[in-house]
Amino acid sequence: LETRVWGEELPDSDSLRVHIHGLRAAVDKPFDKALIQTRHGIGYRIADSEPV
């Protein structure tokens, strides 16, 4: 996602944080659990639950 939006140039962290916040507000709102999950040191993923 990051590469598609910003290309090879890394976004500043505030810009990425604001976009993820807006995406979470739109995508996660109708669900009881968050679909957008943060993977520290890796990035983000969309999943309906944690792997077992």
Q: Looking at domain 2-46, which CATH architecture does it have? A: Orthogonal Bundle (1.10)
Q: Quick one: tokens of 43?
A: 């990035």
| Closest residue by Cα to residue 34 from 50, 18, 19 | 50
pTM comes to: 0.60
* Sequence ranges of the domains in the chain: 2-46
Name, in order, each residue with C-beta under 8 angstroms of 27's C-beta and a sequence gap of 6 or more: 35, 36, 46
1-52 residue pLDDT tens: 667 777 787 777 688 888 889 999 998 888 888 889 888 888 888 888 655 5
Mind listing the pLDDT tens digit for each residue in 16-30? 888 889 999 998 888
